């Protein structure tokens, strides 16, 4: 990476915008999103606005992609406005999204054929932590690619772990992470729903559970929003429910490919699918509690 590196952030959504803002504290950052309002919001936080993805990526040392799925990744790189065409030999694409092992390895091979490195670096922690450099980032990348991306990833993370030397290794670790996260959310929803059905004060239950062995990050983070999910307007959307539909699908697919049974993850996946079927796809994932029963006051 050059002494004054330029980073292009493509995708300024819930995670891309706070990451771009955080990186702009230290690096020169250009940003692009399909939504002009997101570009405007980024420009107010020292991110140089670009009028296209290619314009953002032109001559960048590192291109950070924050996309939702494999189809968006393919489009961002090879679509009508795909950036692969303007990336120079030896440049690095950092993928921060969770899209699954297979799609990442396929894209990495295509990029490698053009002399471009892919750093597989899925993130965990949510928008607030992204904005202050407190993410967990797990990485699969070659030595050369990692050496370029490491300063960028360190500025975004409080925990940075290189899981292996190949793209896909980061996705594998994130798949394990999402299995636990999805199960913890579903289990927390069941527990608080049961507490309500038994006539307990759910807020007191949540507070009490947080002080004991049943506490978890997901219960502490999602629990208060689970109780808000019953209110008019629902809970604040920090992580859409359909993201966990996607991620638990990735977990199921990876487990089948490995010949491993994951019955608890499968049950959690069904709860998220019920939430999506109930029209909660764009709601916060904590809203999954509402498919299990009404709040008991």
Question: Do 80 and 196 share a structural domain?
Answer: no
The torsion of the CA quartet 104, 120, 284, 75, rounded to 10 degrees, works out to -50
The mean pLDDT of 86-104, rounded to a whole number, is 95
The SS3 call for residue 27 is coil
Of the listed 45, 110, 128, 174, which one is catalytic? 174
On whether residue 1 sits in a domain, the answer given is no
pLDDT confidence of 2, banded at 50, 70, 90?
Answer: low
The last residue of one of the domains, among 166, 196, 229, is 166
Question: Do 25 and 101 share a structural domain?
Answer: yes
Q: What are phi and psi of 78, to 5 degrees?
A: -125, 5
**174 is a catalytic site residue:** yes
On whether residue 10 sits in a domain, the answer given is yes
On whether residue 297 sits in a domain, the answer given is no
Q: Identify the weakest region by mean pLDDT among 73-82, 134-143, 179-188.
A: 73-82
What pLDDT digit, counting tens, does each position of 156-185 carry? 999 999 999 999 999 999 999 999 999 999
The SS3 call for residue 162 is strand
Question: Do 190 and 149 share a structural domain?
Answer: no
d(CA 6, CA 214): 45
Q: Which domain holds residue 241?
A: 172-291
- Model's pTM, two decimal places? 0.92
The last residue of one of the domains, among 132, 166, 200, is 166
């Amino acid at each position: 990476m050059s002494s004054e590196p330029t980073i292009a952030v493509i995708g300024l959504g819930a995670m891309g915008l706070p990451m771009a803002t955080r990186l702009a504290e230290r690096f020169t950052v250009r940003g692009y999103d399909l939504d002009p309002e997101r570009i405007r919001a980024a420009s107010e936080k020292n991110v140089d606005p670009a009028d296209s993805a290619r314009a953002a990526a032109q001559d960048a040392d590192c291109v950070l992609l924050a996309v939702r799925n494999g189809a968006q990744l393919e489009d961002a790189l090879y679509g009508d406005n795909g950036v692969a065409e303007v990336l120079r030999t030896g440049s690095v694409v950092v993928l921060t999204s969770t899209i699954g092992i297979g799609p990442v390895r396929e894209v990495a091979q295509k990029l490698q054929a053009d002399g471009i490195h892919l750093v597989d670096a899925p993130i965990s922690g949510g928008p607030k932590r992204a904005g202050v450099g407190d993410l967990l980032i797990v990485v699969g990348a070659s030595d050369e690619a990692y050496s370029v991306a490491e300063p960028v990833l360190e500025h975004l993370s409080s925990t940075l772990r290189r899981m292996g030397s190949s793209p896909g290794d980061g996705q594998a670790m994130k798949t394990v992470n999402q299995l636990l996260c999805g199960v913890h959310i579903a289990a927390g929803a069941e527990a608080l729903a049961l507490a309500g059905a038994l006539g307990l004060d759910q807020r007191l239950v949540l507070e009490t559970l947080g002080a004991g062995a049943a506490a978890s990050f997901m219960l502490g983070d999602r629990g208060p929003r689970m109780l808000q999910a019953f209110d008019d307007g629902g809970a604040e959307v920090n992580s859409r429910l359909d993201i966990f539909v996607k991620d638990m699908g990735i977990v199921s697919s990876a487990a089948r490919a490995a010949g491993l049974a994951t019955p608890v993850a499968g049950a959690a996946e069904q709860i998220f699918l019920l939430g999506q079927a109930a029209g909660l796809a764009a709601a916060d994932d904590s809203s999954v509690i509402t498919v299990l029963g009404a709040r008991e006051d």
